[in-house]
Amino acid sequence: MRMTEGVEWGLHCCLVLAWLDDLAPLPVGRLAEVFDLPPEYLKKQLQPLAKAGILRSEAGARGGYRLGRAPEAISLMDVVTAIEGGTDPFQCTEIRRRGAGRTGAPEEFAHPCGISMAMRKAELAWQRQLANQTLADVIATTPATAERRTRRFVERIA
């Protein structure tokens, strides 16, 4: 069970767009160069972020992406949900109702399956931590040298 690489790419692009908001919009090609990623594939990974309002896409010759809202208002959960489509990896298909369960009285299934509830409880703890950490929190843990270096790189290739 793995997230797509798009989650790592998307989070790092959000970070760069937060750092370099004064240089935005940045074309996908330039973001791809910052991390040496395939531009066409990166474009596909960023599209759902734009659709979710996390990025704003600007058309035209000098177009590209900028952050759609403040880093404080972008949680890790927002990015993961936009790219992965959800964070509920456990699949409950209600197998308790199959086979031996066919003869179970309806009352027996009135409450959600105990296994499913326990798995969801764990997923909720994960989701809560993803929702509680914002892009601004990540920026606070990132060395200032990384920002300065990225800025110089982007200005040079502009």
Nearer to a second copy, 63 or 89 (CB): 89
x/- site string to a second copy, residues 84 to 103, per CB under 8 A?
x-xx-xxxxx-xx-xxxx-x
CB 83 within 8 A of CB 6: yes
How many residues touch a second copy under the rule CB under 8 A: the total is 65
Interaction between residue 129 and a second copy (CB under 8 A): yes
CA–CA separation, 133 vs 152, rounded Å?
A: 28
Strand partners, 134: 75
Interaction between residue 106 and a second copy (CB under 8 A): no
Q: What share of the chain is helix, strand, coil (3-state, %, to 5)?
A: 65, 5, 30
List, in order, residues 6 or more apart from 77 with CB less than 8 Å away: 87, 127, 130, 131
CA–CA separation, 103 vs 117, rounded Å?
A: 22
How far, in whole angstroms, is CA 118 from its chain's centroid?
25
Interaction between residue 23 and a second copy (CB under 8 A): no
Q: Which stretch binds a second copy (CB under 8 A): 21-29, 51-59, 62-70, 134-142?
A: 134-142
When binding is defined by CB under 8 A, the residue of 17, 26, 28, 37 that contacts a second copy is 37
Binding stretches for a second copy (CB under 8 A): 1-5, 7-9, 11-12, 15, 33-37, 76, 84, 86-87, 89-93, 95-96, 98-101, 103-105, 107-108, 111, 114-115, 117-119, 121-130, 133, 137-139, 141-143, 145-146, 149-150, 153-154
